[in-house]
Chains A and B, each alone.
Chain A
Amino acid sequence: MANSEVQRILLITAIFLIAPVFIVIYIFNYNNRKKRHILEKQQMQLSFESELAKTQLEVQEQTMQTIGAELHDNIGQLLSLTSLTLSSVELNNKAKARQKIDDSIDLTLRSIKEMRLLGHLLQGDQLVAVGLVEAIRQLVSWMERSGRFEIVYTAGDEIAANRNADKDLIIFRITQEIFNNIIKHAAATEITIDLDYAGGLLELRIADNGVGFVADEAPLVGHGMGIQNIRKRAGIIGGEAVISSDKGAGTQIIVSIPYP
């Protein structure tokens, strides 16, 4: 066979094989991308789970701190006072004794009421059992109890029917974080909380009439850290947090999450 013919054969064969070779190369590349994508997804799932565990711990820690403070500052005081009142009862003076026993009964009843509120707060920690709407309601009841805030809380009925326990936990933690910021920094007197679900999107709107802040000037500790956490947490579950505030104009935070 002549050299030119061999070259021709090789050239024709090469041309015929170009298309399948390119297809195979493309599939290899695509498959490698698929592998990277699966690994990234697994990595994201792991970090999501770790964030979820962290959030669970934070929710519990926050609840425990509140309960600890309540027991020490409120219920502890009430019970000490009850004990003091009872120990000063003089059985010889029946009228005075009656008065002190009545006071003690009143103090005990107040303690029981406080304990019941604390119990509800603990229930809020058990999000899976009570659901997001109820858990936030417990949080609101506890906030109202202090008498410092006038709170309006509204929640749509559709949320209870569509539940996602993981997202509920993170949204609850975001709510706790926002409440913390209001208590510590906002000096607000009125708070409105609106929880809505429409078109596969859950929207949590919390607005206060507090001192507000300039978003860019929020320090990276305390207030600023809380805001960063809110944004980060909303992002983890595919949502976003829009924070609008100005000095003296209160703060409004809108958290939108694809749900369930």
Chain B
Amino acid sequence: MPHYFTVSTVSELVCLLVSFCLVNDRSLVWRSLILYMLITCLAEFSGVYIERTGSSNHWVYNILVIFDAGFMSLMFAHLFKRYEKSRFIIVGLILFIALYTYQLTTQGLFEYDNLTFASMSVVYVVYCLYYYLLLIRDEDYANIRYSPAFWWVTGAVFFYFGNTACNLFAYQFGDYKTYQRLSYTIFKILNVLQYGLWSYSFICKRWLIAKSNVSY
């Protein structure tokens, strides 16, 4: 049982628990993040379980990447909606479908789809940076210290930027085994950062709901 509780799974589990504070949120997109966290946790635990049985768990992550693309695109589309830039997401989705189909037909479901994962990480980083650009250009002031959207994007940018950088500089790590060991630990740190920031973002969202209820 303790094998299931790794740094990554614990941070995801904590984030899932915190995400339940969005149950009463008015936005369906924000509420859907509970489902996303639930799927992520299930996938992670399944991955650990399958690994422990001695089989390859790559197919689990190959399926999870579909949910990643779906929920991340949904969330960014929701964030860009305020600036009427939601259509931007379609480009990313088309790219995802093309890459995923290509990988699926060439190497199947049981080989880890690194190409789609790495490419989508770049796409998410671009989304995050674009969100920051829109935020800067926005003439209205928002207190970003308590902005759920800002912290959610920041969580994503930390993880996907770190991931992209990790992929780009993989050759610097030495042999493949060292790369695997190093990148695994770096991913743990990135996971803690991402889910920590997402948890804070969910708490901020909860505060906003409470605040708006008080003001009404």
Contacts and interface: CB of A to CB of B under 8 A. Distances in A.
Interface residues of A, number: 20
A16 B144 contact: no
B11 to A, nearest CB: 15
A9 B186 contact: yes
A38 B142 CA distance: 11
Given A5-B182, A16-B165, A20-B158, A27 B135 contact: yes
Main secondary structure of the interface of A (DSSP, over half): helix
Main secondary structure of the interface of B (DSSP, over half): helix
Contacts of A17: 158, 161-162, 193
A138 to B, nearest CB: 41
B135 to A, nearest CB: 7
A30 B141 CA distance: 10
A16 B166 contact: yes
Contacts of A19: 161, 165
Given A16-B162, A17-B158, A28 B144 contact: yes
A12 B182 contact: yes
Interface of B: 129, 132, 135-136, 141-142, 144, 150, 154, 157-158, 161-162, 165-166, 169, 181-182, 185-186, 189-190, 193
A34 B141 CA distance: 7
22 contacts: A5-B181, A5-B182, A12-B186, A13-B162, A13-B189, A13-B190, A17-B158, A19-B161, A19-B165, A20-B157, A20-B158, A20-B161, A20-B162, A23-B129, A23-B132, A23-B157, A27-B132, A27-B136, A27-B144, A28-B144, A31-B144, A35-B141
Interface in A22-58: 23-24, 27-28, 30-31, 34-35, 38
Contact of A8 (B141, B154, B182): B182
Contacts of A1: 181, 185
A66 B38 CA distance: 80
- Closest CB pairs A-B (n = 7): A16-B165, A16-B162, A9-B185, A20-B157, A20-B161, A13-B189, A38-B141
Contacts of B182: 5, 8-9, 12
A83 B20 CA distance: 92
Contacts of A34: 141
Nearest to B150: A27
A19 B166 CA distance: 13
Contacts of B161: 16-17, 19-20
B189 A31 contact: no
A24 B129 CA distance: 10
A9 B129 CA distance: 25
Given A1-B181, A9-B186, 13 more contacts: A5-B181, A9-B182, A9-B189, A13-B162, A13-B186, A13-B190, A16-B162, A23-B157, A24-B154, A27-B150, A30-B136, A35-B141, A38-B141
Contacts of A12: 166, 169, 182, 186
A24 B128 CA distance: 11
B141 A31 contact: yes
Contacts of B142: 31
A40 to B, nearest CB: 12
Nearest to B184: A9
